[in-house]
């Protein structure tokens, strides 16, 4: 849960955090193919019309560790979304030929999570005078 008028810290758990993801080598018709990719950008949408871009997945703990921060003005349930952009390359080799080709950036499908923002109000209770 978040609170209206206070910053919320956003980050991704279980993200490669800039680490290369490698698939392969795979064998295709006598060629060897290896694909390597890594996240290069995080496109956040906060469900209230505001967006942000970050170059890191962030981590929990503090605003300094977050991928991004956002302050909601009103309370409600907001669909927070993030798109991870990937870049990398593939290398194929075989029959005396080796070539590496750059890929990306390619955007991963946006993932959404509902985020509840509440409001806290102080209320003065009592009406008697104090001595």
What pLDDT digit, counting tens, does each position of 40-53 carry?
999 999 999 999 99
Mean pLDDT of the chain: 89
Query: pTM of the prediction?
Result: 0.78
Average pLDDT rounded to a whole number, residues 71-75: 96
pLDDT band at residue 128 using 50, 70 and 90 as cut-offs = low
| pLDDT of 65 over the 80 cut | yes
Pairwise CA distance, residues 96 & 31, whole Å: 10
Mean pLDDT for the stretch of residues 19-46: 91
Give the tens place of pLDDT for each residue, 91-125.
989 999 999 999 888 899 999 999 999 998 888 88
The confidence band for 17, taking pLDDT boundaries of 50, 70 and 90, is: low
pLDDT of residue 59: 86
- Quickly state the pLDDT bin for 20 (edges 50, 70, 90): confident
Secondary structure (DSSP) of 10-72: E--TT--TT--EEEEEEEETTEEEEEEEEEEEEEEE-SSS-EEEESS---SSSTTTSSEEEE-
CA distance 108 to 59: 20
Is residue 131 pLDDT above 60, yes or no? no
DSSP conformational letter for 80: E
């Amino acid at each position: 849960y978040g609170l209206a008028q206070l910053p919320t810290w956003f980050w991704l758990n279980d993200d490669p955090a800039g680490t290369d993801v490698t698939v392969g080598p795979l064998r295709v018709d006598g060629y060897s193919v290896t694909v390597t990719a890594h996240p290069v950008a995080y496109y956040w949408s906060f469900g209230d019309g505001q967006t942000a871009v970050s170059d890191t997945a962030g981590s929990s703990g503090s605003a300094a560790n977050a991928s991004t921060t956002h302050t909601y003005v009103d309370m409600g349930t907001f669909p927070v979304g993030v798109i991870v952009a990937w870049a990398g390359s593939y290398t194929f080799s075989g029959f005396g030929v080796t070539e590496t080709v750059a890929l990306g950036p390619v955007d991963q499908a946006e993932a959404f999570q509902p985020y509840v923002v509440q409001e806290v109000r102080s209320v003065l209770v009592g009406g008697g005078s104090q001595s």
